[in-house]
Chain A
Amino acid sequence: MTTTSIGSGRGAARRRALIGRAAFAGPGLVYVTAFMTVPLLLIATYTVLTRGRFGGVKWEFTLGNFAKALDPTYLSILGNSLLIAGITTVLALLLGYPTAYGISRLPRQWQAVAIVMVVLPFWSNFLIRTYAWIVLLNSEGPINSALVSLGVIGAPLDLLYNRGAVIAGLLYAYLPLVILPVYAAIERVDPQLQEAARNLGASKARTFWDVTLPLTLPGTMIGAIFVFVPSMGNFVVPELLGGGKTVMVGNLIRDQFLEARNWPFGAVLALSVVAFLVLLFALQAMVARRINSAGPRA
């Protein structure tokens, strides 16, 4: 009698937990599966199928799409994308890290304001922000007319429709994404660790190099990934600011789906971008584990 009641009591608790799990997490998890996992798996499947004549796929197995991606034409586009995304990421770090550091050294009440100021442009329309650079860099635009009227240059410079403009646009789009995680990482560093380094004889610069930088490396890598990966997949900025001359992986994927109608090949390219993301995150996790086996902070 007693054993059965205990048994059923425990069963009831387990049943309640199950109901809770199903009622709360269930709908969301089903949704993510249906609208993220299934689509991504479908794309993965498409990579080994044959292209349909009017888009879509024929269900015939092939490895030709991967072979096509290794064609020099496409490899050079991939290389170009990596280069542009890489330069953008380096510039974002060079500007973003010192900015995040500067913000972390402001008085408390100003830090929140400074962070909002960084994030604010990010919340405005991305196309509008990209468009602003067309206006800014145009041959009749404010930069050129200012330089001409100041007599710095004789004739307007070709600032638009080149690789530099694309990098500027990407940097503009994603700079806040590097500042936020770096700022969060700097804030998490226990100031006593920096004081300990000073106390043991390290100068301010030395302290930064030995303590602050390594401890903020995982956060900085997150920021770098947040700039690098979307830069590679972006097709709007290369199109609007690169003037079609700068083709990146993003443009290629867009074209495969909407113009060339080669979905399997587009799938291979898109999956390569996702693979980059996964790879970089794995690398970040490895570095974070190496550096931050810190355990609980006292």
Chain B
Amino acid sequence: MRRVGWLALPLWLTYAFLYLPIVVLVVMSFNASKTPYAWKGFSLQWYRELMSDDLIRQGFINTLIVAVGATVLATALGTLLAIGINRYVHSALVEAYSLAPAIIPDLALAIGLLATFALVGVTLGLHTVLLAHVVFGMAFVAAVVLARLGHQDQSLEEASRDLGAGPISTFWRITVPGLMPAIVAGALLVFTLSLDEFVIAYFTDGPSTPTLPIVIYSMVRFGVTPEINALAALLLLVSFTVVISAQRITKLTDAL
């Protein structure tokens, strides 16, 4: 125990640094004061105001539409892509190319997509945000599924074929069930990423359908209200619940 002693110091420092702002935010969301900084007593009024805020509700609906759509598309494309790379392509270059959208700076991707949509003449809106979110989402799903495929014993599929199952039946009965934890982990990953994504949405969204992060951005930028504290606390709750349950269901760390 004594040996861990001094090594524990940076650990505690990091955790304090990571969690102090979050704790402050959550505490302040129950603040009765009109300014979002100074404590004046316990109140739930900001949560009530939040519930009746149409802009936020609409933003949340928009975000959900994008996140669900992007998750479905990205999960399907990313899973197929991973299997294709692992089984048929065997090229490090193609693999790197497929995973690149996860690493490319979001701002570069955002302006590139804006320029492309403008050139083709597509009206900006939720559909363009969705298309944009699929491209990095797919890379994340592919990465998680590829990691799993790396561990998976390919002889299982060969055994299935040897026992008389056709390629399609083998795919559905052996390959997909074996990959399920990774696919679910990837899907949850994309969903959370899309839910919170701001930069790309900011550039590829139309003015009439702001997603929740865009709404938050303008709120924070043009006038701070304690309402944001309440919203922040709720969003933190949602994110943490999704991630922790994903962790429990799929052992996310193993898949990554």
> Which residues on A are within 8 Å of B, measured CB to CB?
17, 20-21, 23-29, 31-32, 35-36, 38-40, 42-43, 46, 55-56, 95-96, 98-99, 101-103, 105-106, 112, 114-121, 123-136, 138, 140-142, 145, 171-172, 175-176, 179, 229-230, 232-236, 239-240, 250, 253-254, 257-258, 263, 266-267, 270-271, 273-274, 277
Contact = CB atoms under 8 A, between A and B. Distances in A.
B189 to A, nearest CB: 9
Interface in B164-209: 192, 195-196, 198-199, 203
A31 B77 contact: yes
Contacts of A171: 17
Contacts of A239: 221
- What class of interface size applies to chain B in its complex with A? 35 or more
A130 B78 CA distance: 31
The secondary-structure label for the interface of chain A is helix
Contacts of B109: 36, 39-40
Contact of B77 (A27, A39, A235, A263): A27
B108 interface: yes
Closest 7 CB pairs of A and B: A39-B112, A25-B84, A24-B84, A28-B81, A98-B10, A132-B21, A102-B7
A32 B192 contact: no
A103 B11 contact: yes
Given A98-B10, A140-B35, A274-B105, A172 B220 contact: no
A171 to B, nearest CB: 8
B129 interface: no
Contact of A25 (B17, B88, B104): B88
B38 A24 contact: no
B147 to A, nearest CB: 12
Contact of A135 (B9, B139, B213, B229): B229
A63 B44 CA distance: 58
Interface string B81-108: 1011101110000100110110111111
A50 to B, nearest CB: 15
Contact of A40 (B8, B17, B112, B243): B112
A273 B109 CA distance: 11
Interface of B: 3-4, 7-11, 13-15, 17-22, 24-25, 28, 35-38, 77-78, 80-81, 83-85, 87-89, 94, 97-98, 100-101, 103-109, 111-116, 118-119, 131-132, 134-135, 138-139, 142, 192, 195-196, 198-199, 203, 213, 216-217, 220-221, 224, 228-229, 231-232, 235-236, 239-240, 242-244, 247, 253
Contacts of A134: 220, 224
Contact of A99 (B10, B36, B87, B231): B10
Given A25-B80, A128-B232, A102 B28 contact: no
Contacts, number: 253
Chain B binding site: helix, strand, loop or mixed by DSSP? helix
A130 B25 CA distance: 11
B235 A125 contact: yes
Contact of A136 (B24, B78, B213, B239): B24
A70 B216 CA distance: 35
A140 B38 contact: yes
B135 A36 contact: yes
B143 to A, nearest CB: 12
Nearest to B242: A123
Contact of A274 (B89, B104, B114): B104
B19 A121 contact: yes
B81 A25 contact: yes
Contact of B228 (A32, A123, A131): A131
A134 B247 CA distance: 31
22 contacts: A21-B89, A25-B81, A25-B85, A29-B94, A29-B97, A29-B98, A32-B97, A36-B101, A43-B108, A99-B11, A99-B13, A118-B18, A121-B18, A121-B19, A125-B195, A125-B196, A125-B216, A131-B216, A141-B37, A142-B37, A233-B106, A273-B107
Given A28-B84, A96-B14, A273 B94 contact: no
A179 B229 CA distance: 28
A151 B203 CA distance: 47
Contact of B112 (A43, A127, A233): A43
Contacts of B8: 102
Nearest to B203: A257
Contacts of B232: 125, 128, 131-132
Contact of B21 (A20, A129, A176, A277): A129
A106 B5 CA distance: 11
Nearest to B83: A24
